[in-house]
Homo-oligomer: A and B are copies of this chain.
Amino acid sequence: MKAIRELIWKGSYGATTIDQICDKAGVKKGSFYYFFDSKVELALVGMEVDWSQHRPELDAIFSPTVPPLERLQRYCDYFYRFQAEICKQYGCVLGCPLFSVGAEVSTQEDHRLQQKIQEILEYKRKYLETAIRDAQAAGLVDAPDPAAKSRILFAYYQGLATQARIQNNLDVLKDAISGTYELLGVKKSAAVAA
């Protein structure tokens, strides 16, 4: 379980072989096929496990009890710290596996993995939408269409994460919060407050 996540995160989904997974997991191939029918099957469960581990943390960060702009601030901080830790552990910036794996498998015939990834990504976007809507209601930002704004912000985050991975540079992520504010048209006073 941990093995496949590491391998497809650090390397790529397509280039990760079942032999590699078994080696890393210290398990023989027979055992693998006792539990899973194929690599896709394992990847699906892996994604699910990963998501279920992140979900509580995101629920806390995006809790409605937290002021909306602070949620975004905390999320940017969290993402940076998380990537920094991963970077220290694996020696390079890995970004978000949902993006890199998603982009890689999107053209495959078997659509199950794409669907799962899109599903989780949509959950994540929802956090942003709610935060933006609350910020708009509080008059903190200029976002008459929170859903549209959340898509823009989400695309921005996705781009940042991918850039950080490609450039292998954590500093790229440091612009996240200022970029968020510019993108949302945060009013000066609100920015200082958050």
A positions within 8 Å CB-CB of B: 10-15, 92, 94-95, 99-100, 102-104, 106-107, 114, 117-118, 121, 148-149, 151-152, 154-160, 162-163, 165-168, 175, 178-179, 182-183, 185
Contact = CB atoms under 8 A, between A and B. Distances in A.
Given A12-B12, A103-B165, A158-B159, 19 more contacts: A14-B14, A92-B106, A92-B107, A95-B103, A100-B104, A103-B103, A106-B166, A106-B167, A107-B165, A149-B182, A154-B159, A154-B163, A155-B163, A156-B183, A157-B159, A158-B158, A159-B160, A162-B162, A185-B185
Given A183-B182, A185-B182, A185-B185, A10 B159 contact: no
Contacts of A162: 99, 102-103, 158-159, 162
B158 A163 contact: yes
A23 B4 CA distance: 31
Interface on chain A toward B: helix, strand, loop, or mixed SS?
helix
A175 B151 CA distance: 9
A106 B10 CA distance: 9
